[in-house]
Amino acid sequence: MGAIFILVALIFIVKLFRLQVIDSSYKQYATKNVLRRVVTYPARGLMYDRNGKLLVYNKAAYDLLVTPRELEVFDTTALCAMLDIEKEELIKGINRAKKYSRYKSSVVVKQIAQETYAVLQEKLYKYPGFYVQTRTLREYPYNTAAHALGYVGEVNQSMINSDPYYSQGDYIGILGLEKAYEKELRGRKGINFFLVDVHNRIKGPYREGRNDTLALIGSNITTTLDADLQAYAEYLMQNKKGSVVAIEPATGEVLAFLSAPTYNPSLLVGRARGDNYQKLANDTLQPIFNRAIGASYMPGSTFKLVNALIGLHEGVLNEYTKHACSGTVSRPIRCTHEHISPIGVRNAIRESCNPFFWNTFSSIFQKYPTAREGFNVWKDHLQHFGLGQRIGVGVVGENGGNVPKDSYYDHYYGKGRWNAMTVRSMAIGQGELLITPFQLANLAAIIANKGYYVAPHLVRSIWINENNQQVIDYPKNETGFSSETFDMVIDGMQAVVEESNVRYNTKLDTITICGKTGTVQNPHGSDHSVFIAFAPKENPQIALSVYVEHGVWGSRYAAPIASLLIEKYLKGEVTGWRKDIVEEKMANANLLNPIQPD
C-alpha cells in the first residue's frame, strides 16, 4: 500500500513539474489574459526634393489583429459592417491566423482608414481577441516620380527568411529609392507590453514600461530631384512611350527621372494596392517598367558625337579634316539629305552627315595594325564614357546596354574575317550598339563637363536626425580626353540648335543650348525621336536626354520637349508663344499608337 501511494505521489509530482516548469503553454494562457505584446512600428523616413519640397510623407493607418486563442463568439455581421468588408474575407483572415499560430497575433484586416478606426475603437471591447495596431501609409503630394521613389509592400516568406528583422505583416521597400534605402528609411521597431482587462481593453503599461523598447523613426532623405521639373516632364510626356533623364553636370545630381507612360504612385498604397498592381502589371503599355534605366535602344545619330570625340582624341580628325559626301547616293552608308561637301567636324555634326562619321569610324580602325586592335581601342573609349556597363544610379533595374566584344564578331563572322566595313552601322549609332536613356543623359553631362562625369545619383543626403545630415560623396570619373577635344563637338552641337531645322521649336533667345538629334530606325513602326543636350553653353546647369518612341524624327518631339524642360529649369517658367504653341503641341501629342504618319 505504501508503495502504491508513493507511486501515485511521484506521478503527480512529475505531472506538476511538467505543467509548471517544462510546458509553458499554461503560463502563456495566464499571461495572455493580462498582458498584450504590441509591436510599435516607426514612422518611415520622409523624402524631399532638392529644394526642400516634400515628395513622400506618412499618414496614419491601422491593422486589425487577432489572437485566435482569445477569440469568443462575436457578431461577425456587425464587425464586417464597421470594417466595410465581406464576411468571407474576415473568416478567411481568422482561419489564416489560426493556421499560423493560436497564441501569436496575426493581421486580419490591413490598412484600416482613420475614419473607420475612430468608430471601431469605441466597439472593440465587444470583440475579445481582436486589437488594433498603428501603421503608416505613404502619401505623395505631387503624385509624380513613381519610378524614382518606388513603393512599399508587404514582406513575403523569402524576405523574412533572408532578414530576421522582418516578420509576417511587415512592410518593405519594393522598388526605387524605397528599396535602395530601405534600412535608412524603415527605422527600428519597438515593443510595448500592456495590461488588459477581461474586455480586452488596455489598462496601462506593464511594469511601468520597464520591459518596453522604443521605436526609432526612419531617416529622412533629400533627393536630387526637382519636383517642379519632374512634374513638367510628366506633363509633356503624357500619352507617349519613352523617357526623360536630366542631370546637373557638375555634381551628377539627377534633376528629373521619368519613364513614360508612368503611373500615380498613390495607386500602390492602401488596401487597393494589390488590385491596382495587377492592373498595372497587365497593362500592355508596361507602365511599371522603368524605361529610363531598363530599356536599351540604338542611340542613332546622337552617338556620332562620341565617334567624333574618339576621332579627335585618336588624331584621325582635326579642325582641317574634311570628308566628301554625295548625299543620298553616298556609299557604303548613304546620307539622308544633300548638303555642302566636303565637310568638317562642326558642320558634319550640324548636318548629321553619315558618310563623314563612317570615314571617321573607319580611320580609327585603320590607325592600328588589325581591325581587332582598332575595334578594341574604340570599345575601351566607350567604356570610359560609361557605355556598355551599369553606371550605378542606385535603384534596381539598371540595364548596362550593349557594346559588343570582338569575340561576338569572331563567332558571327569568323576570326580575321571582319573589319570596320563589316560593323559600319555602329558608326552612326545603329547595329548591335545599345544605350539606355540614362547613359545618354550622362553622355550629355560628360560633353558639358568637357571630359568627366560625377556618378549620376538620386540621393543628395540622409538625415540621421535633425542636427545630423550625412551628405553622400560620389566618385568622379575621367574619360582621359583633354578638354580641348570637346570644343569643336560643342560648337557643332550649338550649330544643330541654332542653324539647322531644329531651331524653329528648340532655340531659345536668352539661353545657348547645345544639342544633337537622333532618328533611330525601328522595324516595328515609326522611327524613334531622340535628343540629347546641355545648357547654357558656358557653365552648364542641366544636361538631359529625351527619348520618344515612334516620334519619327529627333526634331519633331524629343528636341522641343528638351528645350521646354531646359527653359523651365533655367528660367522657372515657359512663356509666350513657346507655351501657347510648342508646349501645347508637345503635351497634347498622343503617340501611344506605334504607327504614326510620316
Mean pLDDT of all residues in 541-558: 92
Tens-digit pLDDT profile for residues 9-45: 888 888 877 766 666 555 544 544 567 777 888 889 9
Sheet holding 35-40, edge to edge: 35-40, 190-196, 202-205
The confidence score (pLDDT) of residue 597 equals 44
Question: How large a percentage of the chain has pLDDT more than 90?
Answer: 57
Mean pLDDT of all residues in 115-129: 85
Tens-digit pLDDT profile for residues 210-229: 788 888 999 999 999 999 99
The overall average pLDDT reported for the chain is 89
Grid cell locating 27: 503560463
Number of DSSP helices (H) and strands (E) in the chain, helices first: 23, 19
Could you identify the residue written with the cell 523617357? 243
CB atoms within 10 A of CB 480: 11
Q: Tell me how far apart the alpha carbons of residues 325 and 282 are, in angstroms, rounded to a whole number.
A: 49
8 Å CB contact between 234 and 214? no
Range list of H helices, 435-557: 437-449, 487-499, 503-506
- Does the pLDDT of residue 454 top 50, yes or no? yes
The confidence score (pLDDT) of residue 10 equals 87
8 Å CB contact between 227 and 144? yes
Cα dihedral 347→352→354→359 (10° resolution):
40
What domains are there in the chain, each with its CATH number? Answer: 28-69+90-223 (3.90.1310.10), 227-588 (3.40.710.10)
**How is residue 501 annotated by DSSP?**
T
DSSP string for residues in 75-92: -HHHHHHHHT--HHHHHH
DSSP string for residues in 119-144: HHHHHGGGSTTEEEEEEEEEE-SS--
- Beta bridge mates, 507: none
Q: 162 — phi, psi (to 5°)?
A: -85, -15
Give, rounded to a whole angstrom, the gap between the first and last alpha carbons of the chain: 110
- Does the pLDDT of residue 418 top 50, yes or no? yes
pTM: 0.86
DSSP string for residues in 569-582: HHHSS--HHIIIII
